[in-house]
Chains A and B, each alone.
Chain A
C-alpha cells in the first residue's frame, strides 16, 4: 500500500519533476484540446463534458470515501439536488447560468450539511446504509412532489442559458460549454489538492486510518467527518448542477441509488487512494456505458459485471494497480 498523502512538506527537499507531474501535464493538455481531437476520432464533445462532470462528482465523493474513510452510498442525492436546484432556479428565479450553478451547488451542499450530523457518528456499513436511505428520501421527494419537480418525468422547461459577460451574450455550444465544465473541474481539482496537502486533509486521512487514535488525541472525529461530508456534497452538487445544464433536464434518476453506486464504482475502478483515480474511473465508466448502451439492451448486466469484476480482481483500482507494480 502506498502512502495516501501525496505531498511532502515544504521544509523537506522538494521532489524533482517526476512521472506524476508529467502525467498530470499530459492529462491537462489532452483535456484542453478535447473539442479538437475528440470529434476527429468520432466522439461527441458532450460526452467529454459528461466524463468531467462524473469525474468531478466522484472526486468530491472520494474526498469522503477514499481519504476520510466514509463509505457514502448516497451521493446521488447531492448530485440530484444540484441538478434540481439549478433547473428550478432558471425556471422560477433568474435565467442566469452562474447564479443557477451557485443555487444548485448550495442546495446540494446544504443537504449534505443537514444529513452529515445523522451519519457522522457511524462507521463502515452502518454509515453506508444510512447514507443510502437518505439518498432514497430525496429520490421520493422528487418523484412525488409533482407540482414542483415534474415527478417521474423529471424537470424540463429550462435550457442552457447564454452566459452574459461584459454586456455580451455568449451562446454556449458544446465546445464552449465543455470549457466551462473544464474550468470548474480544474478549480475543483485545485481545491481538493490543496485540502489534501493541508492539516485538514491530513486529519481526514488520519480519521480513515485510525479513529480511535485520533479520538484519544482529543480530536473531535465526528466534526471531521461532518466537514468532509459537507465539502464532498458541495462538490458533487456542483457536478449535478453542471449535468442539468448539459442535458437541460433534471431527472429522478439523478437521485437514484444506482447512480450513487456508479460514483462509488468509478472511485474504486480508478483507484480510491489516488488523486487522479476518480477521473480515470470516470473515463472508463462513461466510455463503457456509452459503448455498451449503444450495442446491447442488456447493458445493465455488463455494468453490473464491471462492478463484480473490479471488486474481485481489481480492488486497488487501476492507479493502485499501476503503483503497486511500480513498487514491487
Chain B
C-alpha cells in the first residue's frame, strides 16, 4: 500500500513537473504546447548523450538548457506569428511540431528504448525494509521540490516573475505599461521548456528512454491541469500528485484501470467542480 502510493507519488511528480510547464505556457502564451512531451524526451536524450562527458549532474543542468535553446527558437519563429490568432492554430502547430520532433529524435537516437545509466550510489535502496526507497527516487523528489520552490520564488519575488503573473491576469494592461510582452512570453516559454527538460531527465532515470516517453506523460499532465484548475500553477502541481498517487494505487489493486482512473477522476472533478480544484472563474474563455 505504502509502496504503491510511493510509486504513484514519483510518477505524480513527473506529471506535476510537466503540468507546471504546460500551465505556464498555457497561461501567458495562450498555447497548448503539444510538443511539450517531445521537449521532455529531448531533455532526456541530450542528458543521455552528454552523460559520458559531464556526468549525470552536469547533464541535469546542461541538457534542459539546450532544450530551452531549441524551445526559444521554436517560440520565436513558429509560435510568435500566431499570438492573437485563433488558439486552434497554435494547437495544430505544436501538434505538427511534436510529430516532427519525435521523428527527428527517432532518427538520431533510434526508435528502440535505451536504459539511462544512473550513478551507482543513486540506484541502490537505502534500506532493506524500505526497498523501494532508492537514492534516485529521493533525488527526484528533492530536485522537484527545489525546482518548483525556485519557480514559485521567481514568480513571487523577481521582476520578471511578477510581470509574468501580471501578464497572466491582464496582458493588455501590462503591455500598455511598457513591458515588452514578446520578451516576457519568450522567457515564460523558456521556463516551461526548462521544466520539461528536467522532467525528461528524471523520468528517463526512472522509466528508461524512448522517443515516445513524452506521449505517456503529456496526456496525464493535461488531466493534471484540468483537475487542478486551469490558471492555477499550484493546482497543476496538486492535480499531478493526486492523479499520480491514484494511478499508483490503482496499478496495485486493479491494474487494468491504472490509466483510465485518472480520466475518471477528471470527469468527476468536472462534474462537481467544473473549474477544477483551484481554478478561477473566467480564465481563458
Contact = CB atoms under 8 A, between A and B. Distances in A.
Interface of A: 65, 71, 73, 118, 121-126, 128-130, 132-134, 136-137, 140-141, 143-146, 257-258, 261, 264-265, 268, 298, 300-301, 303-308, 310-312, 315
A140 B285 contact: no
B99 A304 contact: yes
A144 B87 contact: no
B87 A140 contact: no
A300 B81 contact: no
B96 A306 contact: yes
Interface residues of B, number: 47
B90 to A, nearest CB: 8
Interface string B83-98: 0011111111101111
Minimum-distance CB pairs A-B, first 10: A307-B96, A304-B99, A137-B263, A304-B100, A140-B259, A301-B103, A304-B96, A308-B96, A123-B285, A125-B87
B266 A128 contact: no
B263 A133 contact: yes
Contacts of A304: 95-100, 103
B243 to A, nearest CB: 11
A129 B258 CA distance: 21
- Name the prevailing secondary structure of the B interface residues: helix
A124 B284 contact: yes
Given A133-B263, A146-B256, A264-B95, 17 more contacts: A123-B285, A124-B284, A126-B284, A126-B285, A128-B91, A129-B225, A134-B267, A140-B259, A140-B260, A141-B260, A261-B95, A301-B99, A301-B100, A304-B100, A307-B92, A307-B93, A311-B93
B93 A137 contact: no
Contacts of B267: 118, 134, 137
Contacts of B93: 307-308, 311-312
- Name the prevailing secondary structure of the A interface residues: helix
Nearest to A261: B95
Nearest to B99: A304
B130 interface: no
Contacts of A133: 219, 222-223, 226, 263, 266
B274 interface: yes
B285 A145 contact: no
B107 interface: yes
Nearest to B81: A312
A123 B87 CA distance: 10
B34 to A, nearest CB: 8
B231 to A, nearest CB: 9
Contacts of A303: 96, 99
